[in-house]
Structure 1
Amino acid sequence: MLMVQLACPRCGFVIEQYGAAQLEADTQKQKRYQYLRKKQTLCPSCLSQTAKLEERRVEVEAGPQAELMAEAEAPPEAVPAGEAVAPTPLCDELERGPWPSHVTELKQTRYHMQMYEEGLRQKRTQWGFGGYTSIPGVASGILMRASARPDIAKGANLVRAFCPSGTFYSTQTFRALCDVADRHGYGILHLHATTCDIEVLGVPKEELRATVDELVAAGLDVGSTGDAYRNCQECIGPLRCEMVLVDSVAMRQAYFTRFLDDVQYPRFPHKIKFKLSGCPNDCTRSQQKGDIAIVGVFRDPPTIDAARLEGWVAGGGDIAHIVRMCPTRAMEWDGRRLAIDADGCVRCMYCINKCPAVRPGGDRGVAVLAGGKMRGKYGPLQPFVIAPFVPAVPPDFTEVFDLCAKITDVYDEHARRKERLGDFIYRTGIDQFCRLVGVPSAPQQMVSPRINPFYHWTPEELQASRKEAD
């Protein structure tokens, strides 16, 4: 089989290769091939910088793998009506071997296996972004995926529903979910995606209304699409975790009680993702993926159970190593007694996770952060701490959600269309954002010191200075 290789001219390392037939038939690969030929490239083998890669055409000896690749590279043939389904050699290859195969399970559903075969053949998904489908009664819309191969399968809709708080299901609810997926979709459920949604895949447009009605009848709300509050993901919190500082499950329930209209009716410049973590371990990755992140914190220093610590050390626990690994050197161990400097401790949870004798302190609440995301105009962004400590008072958590509502009101009023919250804060500056929200800014929020000597006096500051001068 003829292969086209792009290699380093200095050491001969093959950086990328294509089957000649595949390169001739696939326009996307032709574009990438031309791009790599003109691009200045760093060879990962000899680390030399080259302005132009060397092109080679090499005959590869035919073998089982080469035959499989050649078979996959051949353009798919149209299957006449009434005949067998088109062959899927790459999918069949994934079923070989002693291990269970997801392809075997996938073939038992109504999923279009030829679309999966095309994705494996071209090494990219054949489903693209398709926007939203509007149906009466679902203001946020239904997510749609466009098909790159409409000759194989048309676009697919997926219906998102909110999982119960704590992600605990009754068998009745779960059976109802499975029945909906079997009756209207591919027979596949996507459980607890990055936003902790339940997704029913492959629902035809004419069956969307019935799908939504059956999900609502099962006790599940539909939404989490469009420029609205998305589903709120929480950690399992007090249900199973000993590290939890606030009741994250109850807080999620209070979130939906207060913001359900904003979840189901889009009104913001872009989507807003909420994440809740019951402690700084942040198991929900709220600081990475949440436009607004709520993280349980404590203000008192960690507590130490001296008797338990003595037994743990006697059993082989290495407290000296934990002391050495403290990021702010706030711990001291003299061989008999452990001490923690309350002012130096940053409550990072390291010693608490490692030693069962060290537990979180009292005076517990939450920190509210804003602006975290993985994608967007400015790329991935870490969030800013808007309020380092807010009391979390159940059952309504009023003070916490009042601040969240103020953040989103400022975002709704001042942000540009399709501008994420993190991009908006980055554009306006954290000091200006805090001023709009009505919370004091702090030096710890600044990424770096200012690099110019100019100071912009506000009218209030000028009036105050004039009064002092008079």
Structure 2
Amino acid sequence: THCGSLAGRADLYSVMGYGGGVIGRYCDRPDLFPEIAHFHTMRINQPTGKYYTTEVLRKVCDIWEEFGSGMTNMHGSTGDIILLGTTTDNLEPCFQALAHEANMDIGGSGSALRTPSSCVGKSRCEWACIDSQDIILNLTREFQDELHRPAWPYKFKSKSSGYLEGCISVLDQKGGSAYARWRFCLRSVWHAQRATEKRARVTSENRRVIDLWSDVVSACATKCVALERSSMEIYTENCVRCMHCINVMPRWPSGPGPGHGVRQILLREAMAPILQGAQLSSVIIPFIKMEPPYEEFKEFVDKLWEWWDEHGRNRERVGELIQRLGMRTSCEAVGVEPDPRMINTPRYNPYIFFKEDEVEGGWTRDVAEYRKRHQA
């Protein structure tokens, strides 16, 4: 029995004034399955932190029962409310109902800025360093044109995590994301009670006995934690904010240092392309102090998008463009100074590449004059 299949054509259908937010889907055998001849998907912009009241959820479900199939997906990998299955004639009425009755807008799809997403941030998380909800709300309102009208070589996803845990998967998204970090040293006022031996033990929140040496000190990624006599010492110059010590001992009176901000990361194809293999994030800006109205961040992404739009190939993400042209070229394009934290293994490559203006005389030096001073 031929059951047919649903094929997708991104953004063949949309609503008035928008170029994205609707994924056109149709059946290849409408003669056999007329009820799903059209089965378009709508993406609805979720509130920051994904907070809903039952009243709003009921409104969305009632609207979708009227204009669509009633099936929903809460949420897609980008964060949108996914409304599955409607016809072309119902797209505009459904959009108008969502806007006027539920006060909700369509999200991003296609080669555009995908709907920005944030974690719950300071509203629920005691560790949050930044107001991730306010950041995403501000950026969503600022970049409405980029969100609703696809104009880039490919998609660009953006997320904001209020803490180093990356609790909304900022590290594996395909675009640019930001996660919070503290600028200065980790605060530590903890002293091991009568910990006169190297293998001091403390009790964690779940009452499991923790061996400080094996569970914390020896497991530190950069060896910045040490047991010295009766106290635990932190060599802050080596701390990379990996969060391991705080995760193991959440009751430990230690926490983020002063000076909160974000680390901006750009993703080099957070999937598994055949030629390069699996790729995750790369640091592009080690620290930005995120304060309203976030102008420094906005200026950076504007430069990045302009460079990507000019040099990117069709269906080439930002990370893939950086991989093709090099981190040095991308830093020059967006006006960012190179930093050892941008690469995984600093000083691994012994070669130094100079630009012409960095070399005395440039590339047009007189060989005869050079040989007078340096015999062959």
**What TM-score results when the alignment is normalised by the length of structure 2?**
0.83
Residue 369 (structure 1) aligns with = 265
- State the Cα deviation string for residues 68-99 of structure 1 (Å, max 9, x = none): xxxxxxx36xxxxxxxxxxxxxxxxxxxxxxx
CA–CA distance in structure 2, aligned partners of residues 344 and 141 of structure 1: 45
When Rg is computed on C-alpha atoms for both structures, the one with the higher figure is 1
Q: Which has the higher contact order (CA 8 A, sep 6+)?
A: 2
Residue 44 (structure 2) aligns with = 161
CA–CA distance in structure 1, aligned partners of residues 240 and 96 of structure 2: 49
Residue 344 (structure 1) aligns with = 238
**Which ranges of structure 2 fall in alignment gaps of 5 or more residues?**
195-200, 370-376
CA–CA distance in structure 2, aligned partners of residues 127 and 296 of structure 1: 41
- State the Cα deviation string for residues 125-163 of structure 1 (Å, max 9, x = none): x43332221332222251123435542332410111101
Residue 416 (structure 1) aligns with = 313
Residue 214 (structure 1) aligns with = 97
Quick one: which of 199, 209, 219 aligns to 2:82?
199
- Which residue identity does 2:282 align to in structure 1? F
Residue 330 (structure 1) aligns with = 224
- Which residue identity does 2:267 align to in structure 1? G
Residue 185 (structure 2) aligns with = 301
- Which residue identity does 2:285 align to in structure 1? A
Q: Are 1:243 and 2:132 matched, yes or no? A: no
Contact 1:371 1:425 in 2 (8 A): no
Q: Percent identity?
A: 26
**Aligned-pair CA distance for 1:278:** 1.3
Quick one: which of 294, 304, 329 aligns to 1:407?
304
Distance 1:451 1:348, change over 3 A: closer
Matched residue count = 346
CA–CA distance in structure 1, aligned partners of residues 352 and 337 of structure 2: 21
RMSD of aligned alpha carbons:
2.9
**Aligned-pair CA distance for 1:205:** 0.7
Matches within 5 A, 1:283-298: 283-298=167-182
- Range 128-137 or range 294-303, more displaced: 128-137
Contact 2:130 2:290 in 1 (8 A): yes
User: Relative to total residues, which structure has the larger helix share, 1 or 2?
Assistant: 1
SS in 1 for 2:323: helix
Contact 2:67 2:94 in 1 (8 A): yes
**Which ranges of structure 1 fall in alignment gaps of 5 or more residues?**
1-74, 77-114, 119-125
Q: Are 1:269 and 2:148 matched, yes or no? A: no
CA–CA distance in structure 1, aligned partners of residues 156 and 297 of structure 2: 16
Q: Are 1:136 and 2:25 matched, yes or no? A: no
Residue 282 (structure 2) aligns with = 384
Matches within 5 A, 1:13-24: none
- Which residue identity does 1:159 align to in structure 2? M
**Aligned-pair CA distance for 1:374:** 3.3
Distance 1:376 1:156, change over 3 A: farther
- State the Cα deviation string for residues 355-404 of structure 1 (Å, max 9, x = none): 1212111121111111243348656422221110111113x222122222
CA–CA distance in structure 1, aligned partners of residues 322 and 362 of structure 2: 29
SS in 1 for 2:83: strand
- State the Cα deviation string for residues 148-183 of structure 1 (Å, max 9, x = none): 554233241011110111211133321210111111
- Range 244-253 or range 330-339, more displaced: 330-339
**What TM-score results when the alignment is normalised by the length of structure 1?**
0.67
Residue 291 (structure 2) aligns with = 393
Contact 1:381 1:422 in 2 (8 A): no
CA–CA distance in structure 2, aligned partners of residues 149 and 206 of structure 1: 19
CA–CA distance in structure 2, aligned partners of residues 372 and 275 of structure 1: 15
**Aligned-pair CA distance for 1:425:** 0.8
- Range 332-341 or range 230-239, more displaced: 332-341
**Aligned-pair CA distance for 1:257:** 2.2
Contact 1:299 1:361 in 2 (8 A): yes
CA–CA distance in structure 2, aligned partners of residues 453 and 169 of structure 1: 54
Contact 1:275 1:290 in 2 (8 A): no
SS in 2 for 1:139: coil
SS in 2 for 1:203: coil
- Which residue identity does 1:365 align to in structure 2? G
Distance 1:300 1:291, change over 3 A: same
- State the Cα deviation string for residues 325-355 of structure 1 (Å, max 9, x = none): 1111111124621110011111101111221
Distance 1:333 1:460, change over 3 A: closer
CA–CA distance in structure 2, aligned partners of residues 322 and 454 of structure 1: 38
CA–CA distance in structure 2, aligned partners of residues 429 and 279 of structure 1: 29
CA–CA distance in structure 2, aligned partners of residues 360 and 148 of structure 1: 56
Distance 1:455 1:389, change over 3 A: closer
Quick one: which of 319, 325, 328 aligns to 2:212?
319
SS in 1 for 2:85: strand
SS in 1 for 2:157: strand
Contact 1:230 1:263 in 2 (8 A): yes
- Which residue identity does 2:122 align to in structure 1? P
Contact 2:48 2:119 in 1 (8 A): no
Contact 1:376 1:423 in 2 (8 A): no
